[in-house]
Structure 1
Amino acid sequence: MDRLRSKIAIGVVGPHDLVEQIVHIGASLPSAASFRLVGAPHAGEHETREKLAKIAGSIDAVLFTGPLQHDLATQSGELPVPATFVPVSGAGLYSCLLRGVLSEGIDPARVSIDSIARTDVAEAYEEIGVPMDGVHVSEYRQPDSVRDFVGFHERLYREGATTAALTTVRTVARKLEAAKVPVLRMMPTTHTLRLAINTATLLGTGSRLEESQIAIVLVELAASTRPTHSGPGNYWQQELKLSLHRSLLAEARQMGATVVPREENSYVITATVGALSQATDGFRVAPFADRVRADLGVAVEVGIGLGNTARDADTHALIAVERARGADATAAFLIGSDGTATSLPLRQRRRGDQVAEPEADSKAGKVLDRLVQRLGDGPEAMVVDAEIVAEVLGVAPRSARRVLQNLVEEGLAWALPPVKSAQAGRPRQPYRLVSR
């Protein structure tokens, strides 16, 4: 398996005969040792997306046998791997016409042709010296245009305008055969298939390199969130760091990344570019920042660096996090391998995920305002427990615990990890108030 996985894996999706031909040609290429072809033949064009989905997790690129298969696969959304297709051109028209003249007795000046562009057909007929006055062409423009191919060919044949139909689509050829219309299937030339395989191999190589490229993400607490002093006695700082580490791990685990503390208020996440790209919708939104804000109610500065080496990626990440700091943590920044900077906005919550904002005059909101007014809004002051709340509000500790629970339910506080006491009894449960 390791030996096989070291080769570039190319999926081949299309009708059975073309897939078989491509796999056979690929095995004879001089570069065959560097790639392997994974056949995914379909019985009908409607199976294209399903066949691709079954092999997508084991390939680096996909080669469709024609533009029809490619367009059908992309109709349902973005493809999971880089893709190319065997082009439809006049190259396969020559052999098809010659075969028709020699074995079927057709008149090449009176045929109907689908899929190929009219200019390509005109060029081919000019080269063989046959006039095009009686040649009818229906170009491929989109998957829906294929529905008209059968009627196009059959009408012309019934009217006596043509002696045969030439099509690139297997299902069209079958329907014409059933309707007793002479039909020839145009197949791509061996040269065309070789070029298509080479193109797919290059795409797969690029995809594999990108997947293995290193990405470094630096996540730092925003300046407004950092404690005014640090040290082992600052319990709030220790609790916040522990919670931040836990939040980062939850998201990093999904992309197979590692999380390591870097400095007093920062962490470094190491991942591959491919994994990070998937987690950020193709580098369209910032990673980690939204989750940390939702879990902890604090802002973080996120910088992403890409590079072919860890040193390059780390250097770029340092530049990127500096950019994020200058933007007041309102966006993450990415510095690519070529030094290009890109701003990544925070992910917007879907409507179903939105948390209702508490009313300004709600009871919980008023309690929070009283606490902030008495305690201040500094980072350390925003960390409280039942004893502090009881003292500030003049209520019993049991009532203070209910107050804190109400704040949590309203999204105005979040629980920090419990702190063990030196004395016997329950651990102290601190909470961080969320300023509005």
Structure 2
Amino acid sequence: MSIEIGVVGPHDLVDDVATTCEEQPGVTVRRLDYDHESQAPAIVEAHSGQVEAWLFTGVVPYTLARDANVLNRPATFVDYTGATLLQAVVRLLRDGHDVTRISIDTLTGTDVNSTFGEAGLPVEQVRTLPYRSGLLSKDVAAFHRRQRRAGTEVAVTCISSVYETLRHEMPTIRLAPSYHSVRTALRQLLLQASSQAQEDAQIALGLAALSDGDGGLLREVAALGGTLARVGHNFHLIVTTRGPLHDATAGFTALPMLRRLADRHDTVQIGFGLGRSAAEAENLARRALSRARRVGSAAAVLSLRGDTDIVLESTAPALSAAASAADVNLAVIAQRVGLSVPTLLRLREVRHAAGTEPLTTREVAEQLNVQQRTARRMLHRLELAGLAERLGNLSSGSSGRPLTLYRLTL
């Protein structure tokens, strides 16, 4: 597999990470460094058409780019737990510091406790500040200053701007990616990119029922990079692949062409099916069209394997004047992802209870009192709609399948 990766991070880390990546056959690297982590989203946006995947030197620039909605390619970041944190502990011990009295930013308390526990080090006086969206470098620097006044000996930071701020005020060390952590992140990224390439090549078939000819449809299908064929009276077949359809629907969330076609036709009902073969895609497209007809006169539905239907865009049912904006939004989301409003309300409660911590499929199943496969199906639908983020897998501790970690953004 040949792939070009954009490596994003501060000047002194980008080259080291890029050099490690270039050891992998078939990998070429575009070095994209910044002066401050806040520049990461702009860098990604400026080079989005030049690379096939993104590797960030840490979680902070990755989160900033993700929250700015500029990541349109597979992306991951180098994790600073494990070997990276242990390297820093060894350096501190070698320089005579008390590693049991330090303050650490960005990493979670769970990750720090796990790493220190494996090394046989106590953590009672170790203070952590996990990174979260909206946390500024000045807030992180203020955290280390408070802990210094409370008796910590060294500030350990993952953020270059914080290091530059504090290094003249107190003993400060900046975590740098270890060779092992870079290789681990690269393997994960290559798997994501390979999976994305396979998915993008999936066949997408659409069945469109229009009330009056094909006015405007040919031009819209051309924008999808697809072809159009008439298969019956006011009935048309659209052939494309997953990649163009994903881009044209903003990640399977909306179908702008539906509104434009609705201006020309009294009835516009479109069903897309996404499958690994033409036969599978056609069966799913027929199911999607059937549901679109039930939704309304102007509706588009995407059907996937595993009984997943997504309403891309439709005429939302009228709600009472007393309904709040939040109720309206939830009703639209419910229609789009194929879940009920009460289920979405319960999922929102689960999200609030979890705070910033990720949730496993088992935890969601237990909270909703449903089977795990039902929870997996719900979370998969939310992920496709951009309302949940898959963070990886967690061993279940048994011979069963690993538990998938999600962060809900509903």
Contact 1:332 1:343 in 2 (8 A): yes
Q: Which has the larger radius of gyration?
A: 1
Question: Cα deviations across residues 274-305 of structure 1 (Å, max 9, x unaligned)?
Answer: 212222233334564432220x2431332212
Aligned 8 A contact 2:11 2:35 in 1: yes
Q: Report the 3-state secondary structure (helix = DSSP H, G, I; strand = E; otherwise coil) of the residue aligned with 1:57.
A: coil
The 1:155/1:280 distance shift into structure 2, 3 A limit, reads closer
- Long gaps (5+) in structure 1: 1-5, 223-239, 349-436
Q: CA deviation at 1:326?
A: 5.3
Match of 2:371 in 1: none
Number of the residue aligned with 1:165: 155
* Residues 1:22 and 2:17 are matched in the alignment: yes
Gaps of 5+ in 2: 317-410
1:63 alignment partner, SS class: strand
The answer to whether structure 1 residue 182 and structure 2 residue 174 are counterparts is: no
Q: 1:49 aligns with which of 38, 41, 44?
A: 41
- Asked if residue 249 in structure 1 is aligned to residue 218 in structure 2, the reply is yes
> CA 1:280–1:122 in 2, change beyond 3 Å: closer, same or farther?
closer
Q: In the superposition, relative to structure 1, how do residues 156 and 286 fare at CA in structure 2: closer, same or farther (>3 Å)?
A: closer
> Aligned to 1:277, which of 243, 246, 254?
246
Q: Does the 8 A contact of 1:89 with 1:117 survive in 2? A: no
Counterparts of 1:202-351 in structure 2 under 5 Å? 202-222=191-211, 241=213, 244-245=214-215, 247-286=216-255, 288-294=257-263, 296-325=264-293, 329-338=297-306, 340-346=308-314
How far apart are residue 345 of structure 1 and its match? 3.6
Kindly state the Cα deviation for residue 180 of structure 1 after the two structures are TM-superposed. Answer: 4.0
2:281 counterpart letter in structure 1: A
Q: 1:221 to 1:186 in 2, by over 3 A?
A: closer
C-alpha distance in 2, partners of 1:193/1:38?
A: 16
Q: CA contact under 8 A between 2:296 and 2:314: conserved in structure 1?
A: no
Among all aligned residue pairs of Structure 1 and Structure 2, give the percentage whose two residues are the same amino acid. 32
RMSD: 2.9
Structure 2 counterpart of 1:92: 84
TM-score, normalised to structure 1's length? 0.64
CA deviation vs aligned residue, 1:245-281 (integer Å, no higher than 9, x gap): 4x01232232222222223322222222221222223
Amino acid at match of 1:312: E
Equivalent position to 1:148, from 122, 139, 142:
139
Q: Deviations over 1:398-421 (max 9, x none)?
A: xxxxxxxxxxxxxxxxxxxxxxxx
Residues 130-145 of structure 1 aligned to structure 2 (within 5 Å): 130-132=121-123, 134-144=125-135
**Cα distance in 2 for residues equivalent to 1:339 and 1:135:** 48
Q: Distance in 1 between matches of 2:37 and 2:191?
A: 26
- In structure 2, the residue matched to 1:118 is 109
Closer, same or farther in 2 for the Cα pair 1:128/1:311, shift >3 Å?
Answer: closer
Number of aligned positions between the proteins: 316
> Shift in Å at residue 344 of structure 1?
3.7
CA-CA distance at 1:315 after TM superposition: 3.6
Judged with a 3 Å threshold, the aligned counterparts in structure 2 of structure 1 residues 319 and 14 are, in CA distance, closer, same or farther, namely: same
Q: Report the equivalent of 1:59.
A: 51
Q: State the one-letter code of the partner of 1:187.
A: A
- Checking the alignment, whether the CA contact within 8 Å between 1:96 and 1:186 is kept in structure 2 is yes
Distance 1:156 1:220 in 2: 65
Post-superposition CA distance 1:197-239 (Å, at most 9, x none): 11111111222222222211122234xxxxxxxxxxxxxxxxx
Q: 8 Å contact 1:334–1:342 — kept in the other structure? A: yes
Shift in Å at residue 162 of structure 1? 3.9
Instruction: For 2:21 and 2:10, locate their aligned partners in 1 and report how far apart those are by CA, in whole Å.
Output: 17
Q: Which runs of 4+ in 1 moved over 6 A?
A: none
TM-score (norm 2): 0.68
